[in-house]
Each structure stands twice: as structure tokens, then as C-alpha cells.
Amino acid sequence: MKLAIILTNDWELFGNGSGDYFENQKTPLIELLKPINYHGFKFTVFAEVIQQLNLFQQSSENLNSDGIAKDWEDTIKNLLFEGHDIQLHIHPQLIQKSSGYSKEFSIANLESDEMFDVICSCKNYLESVLKEQNANYECIVFRAGGYAIQPSENVINNLFSAGIRSDSSVTNGLISSFFNFKHSYSSYLPWFCSTDIRKKNIAESSILEVPIFSVSRIDIPILRVKFPELYYLLFHSVRLTKEEIQWINQTKKAKKHATYSIKEKYRAQASRSILKLLFYKLIQPYSLQYDYDKIPARVLIKYLEKKWKVINNLDDASLEKFSNCYIPVVLIGHAKDHYSNYNIDLFLSLLKSEFQGNCESLTYSGFYNHYISNLKEYELLDENLYFNKLLK
Ligand SMILES: [Zn+2]
């Protein structure tokens, strides 16, 4: 058994459509690829396709729409050529209506026919571009914009009908006004789902949910944001170095941009009652999502080592049965929030030195294909981890 490190990135401009393609999307991605290629890791980019389709609709010489659209296509083709993976990401708020942007943040709230059409046109476009590079390319994985995929039954049905076979929108325990991933089946192990994205349910039209890796912690958000040094020491027993503090200060730049309407909405709701506000600002359960643009590398490594140790404590006889299986570790980041390679570089170096032969880098599709080809072993592993209460 090995860890499968699946580095993913949601590749897009800001949630309200603002931002400069070259400055906020292309350049940070190319920067990010330097340590990833240097350390020999694979990368999976969830490319937001609506913004790209909009460029064709509003073709304008002044805005260099054609130049940007062409560069976007060349960039993802190059990624595929280098052995990386590109899959589908959709932000429905960017859909153009006669009155402007649709402002519908959740794909789950689209009418079923429109939802199916949007998924198909985005998937078909991605495939038409990437098949020019590699005739075997297939778009089979989805991640919902803002993770907003609930209520999920209709979305799963439409994804399946469109030929999508896997999703990676869930982070166990994470909640906002657009989603509630509390009590998801696992915080790392995949499950087939057909109605509720959080629940294991094997049916003919099931898709495979591979969640973003997370661990449950207690958190004081205000301390985390204002006094990270104290926060990581008290809550994670990690003493930050000067370089790490410098990196955290660089990540704060990201917050200055007009970005996540979802968070704004959540805050607006929270401030309606003093109690909710206190709950939001003070101590609360927290799902530490494996985001290499936000969480210091040594914290990510620390909990990964803990998880690995616990899983390897299963008795030897059962470990033997799963020797061919991977434990997937899906990480997330956003090129638009990426201001320094310090953390990802440290994370990849530490992975190699701490886990040595016990971890391997896979693309999302690479892991999916391995899972489907070794379904029996993975089912046994799932049963064993479930029985030992090790899924969370
Ligand atoms: Zn996104």
C-alpha cells in the first residue's frame, strides 16, 4: 500500500468574473508548475470552462479575447503533453444571460435541462481541444464551482448521463450556505454515490466521489487569521519558522481581491445574530482541508504521517491483501491565490524525505483508472477501514 498524492488546482479567474487572465491565472500556474515538475510530481488542473466559452461569445479585439482563448487552449494542451491531467470545473454564476451574468452560484440550482446542456457543452469543448493533443484524452471528472453541488441527486444524474464518472467537490465536515459536507462517508477514501453526494450508494448510475483530503480539528478563525504563529503552536503544536510566517503573509494578498461571494454570503448570514457571529469568530469545529496555498507544509505532513501510521497499524495479514491499493490524498490549490512557491516546494520535498517509497504522485485520472481496475481490492480495503472505524 502506498499514498497516492493527487495535486489538484482549480484554474479560473475570480468568482465575480474579474481578474486578468495572464496575471492572475496563467503566470501563477506556470510558476506553480516549476516545483511540481522539478520534484517529478503529476498535476491535475480543474479548468473552469464557462469563462473560456464566454470569450468566444464576446470576441473583442480590444479585450484580446481571441488571444486569451488561444493561450488558454495552448496552456492546457501543454500540460497534457507534459503528462499532467485536465478535468472539468464549472462556475454557473459566469453563464451569460441577456441581462448579464446568471448570478446562480450553485450548479444544483439550474433547471435540469440547462444543467445537462452546460455540463455537456463544457465537457465537449474540453475534449475537442485536448483530443488534438492526445486522441485518448477523456474528460471524466468534475469539481463544482465553490463546491456547490447540493442537493446532489440531479447533479449526479446529469453528470453520469453526460459521461462524467467521478467527482471531487466534497471535503468531509466543510460547510457553507451553499453546501453541507458534514458526516460524509470518508475524509479521504473514495465512495460510489448516486443520490446524496456524501453517502455511499452503489447503483448503476453511481459516480466515484474522491474527496479532498481533510482532518477534523478545533479552530479559532480570528486567531488563525490574526496570529498564525500562536494559532499553529496552540492548535497544531507546530512552531512556524520565519520563512513560514513570511509565506503566510504573502497568502494574505489573495484576500484583498474580490473573490469568494460564498464566504461573503456566509459572513452576512452569520452576522445576523450575535450568537452565530460569536460562533463564527470564536471556537468551532473545523475541517482542515488539504490546501497547499493556505496550510503550512509541515502541518499537512504532520497529519498525513498520523493517518499513515494508523492505517499501517492494521494487522499484517490484511495489509498484504491491499498491497496493490493506494490511499488517495487529494490536495487543492488555486492559481489565482498562489503568490509563492515556498510552501508547495517544502511540502513536496518533505513528502519525498518523510515517506520515501511509501508515496507516489498520480494524476486524478490515473488514480481513478487504478481504482476501477482493482475494484475488488479497494472494496476489501474499504470494508476493513470501515470495520476499524478509520474512514474519517
Ligand atoms: Zn472554482
Closest CA to 333 of 303, 297, 309: 297
Distance (angstroms) between ligand 1 centre and the Cα of 129 equals 20
**pLDDT classification of 255: cutoffs 50, 70, 90:** low
Could you read off the pLDDT of 305-343 as tens digits, one per residue? 999 999 988 776 777 888 899 999 999 999 999 999 999
Angle between helices 27-38 and 342-355 (to 10 degrees): 20
Comparing CA positions, the residue from 213, 197, 184, 215 lying closest to residue 287 is 215
- For residue 112, how far is its CA from the centre of ligand 1 (angstroms)? 21
Distance 9 CA to ligand 1 centre (A): 9
126-130, 282-286, 347-351: segment of lowest average pLDDT: 282-286
With a cut of 80, say whether residue 270 has pLDDT above it: no
Rounded Cα distance, 282 and 305, in Å: 28
Q: What is the mean pLDDT of residues 249-271?
A: 56
Residue 277 has a pLDDT of 59
DSSP character at residue 193: E
> 336 alpha carbon to ligand 1 midpoint, in Å?
10
Q: Which amino acid is at 156?
A: I
Residue 42's CB: how many other CB atoms inside 10 A?
22
pLDDT at residue 6 greater than cutoff 90: yes
CA 121 – ligand 1 centroid, Å: 18
Model confidence over 159-209: pLDDT tens digits? 999 999 999 999 999 998 899 999 999 999 999 999 999 999 999 999 999
Q: What pLDDT, on a 0 to 100 scale, did the predictor assign at position 223? A: 87
Please count the CA atoms within 13 angstroms of the CA of 194 that sit on its side-chain side: 7
Give 162 Cα–ligand 1 centroid separation in angstroms: 20
Question: What's the gap in Å between 374 CA and the centre of ligand 1?
Answer: 31
pLDDT digits (tens, 9 = 90+) for 219-242: 887 888 889 999 999 999 999 999
46 C-alpha to center of ligand 1: Å? Answer: 8
Task: Using a pLDDT cut of 90, give the percent of the chain over it.
Answer: 76
The pLDDT value given to residue 325? 95
Identify the pLDDT of residue 316.
66
- What mean pLDDT do residues 91-96 have? 93
d(CA 224, CA 234): 10
Q: What is the pTM of this model?
A: 0.93
Q: Flag whether pLDDT at 264 surpasses 50.
A: no
Per-residue model confidence (pLDDT) at position 103? 79
What percentage of the chain has pLDDT greater than the value 70?
92
Grid cell 479532498 is found at 212
- Please tell me the distance between residue 176's alpha carbon and the centre of ligand 1 in angstroms: 15
Choose among 388, 382, 330: nearest CA to 44. Answer: 330
Domains and CATH numbers, the chain: 2-216+289-387 (3.20.20.370), 221-285 (no CATH)
Say what the pLDDT of residue 276 is. 62
- Cα of 146 to ligand 1 centre, how many Å? 5
The mean predicted confidence, pLDDT, of the chain is: 91
CA dihedral (184, 188, 192, 197) in degrees, to 10, reads 30
pLDDT at 280 over 80: no
Q: Is the dihedral of CA 167, 172, 176, 177 positive or negative?
A: positive
360 - beta bridge partners? 4
Residues 311/315/320/326 CA torsion (nearest 10 deg): -10
Coil, strand or helix: which one is 312?
coil
- Between the CA of 209 and the centroid of ligand 1 the distance, in Å, is 17
Q: How far from each other are the two terminal CA atoms of the chain, in whole angstroms?
A: 18
Residue 23 is classified by DSSP as I
Q: What is the mean pLDDT of residues 354-367?
A: 96
How many whole angstroms separate alpha carbon 103 and alpha carbon 266?
Answer: 16
- Residues at Cβ < 5 Å from ligand 1 ion: 10, 12, 145
* Nearest in space to 368 (alpha carbons), one of 185, 167, 162: 167
Compute the distance from residue 69 Cα to the ligand 1 centre, in Å: 18
Rg value, the chain, Cα: 20
Q: Cα(80) to centroid of ligand 1, in Å?
A: 20
CA of 145 to the centre of ligand 1 (A): 4
Are residues 144 and 94 in contact, defined by beta-carbon separation less than 8 angstroms? no
User: Burial of 209 by CB count in 10 Å (0-12 exposed, 13-18 middle, 19+ buried)?
Assistant: buried
User: Which amino acid appears at position 136 of this protein?
Assistant: N
- Residue 272's pLDDT band (boundaries 50, 70, 90)? low
Confidence of residue 26 (pLDDT cuts 50, 70, 90): very high
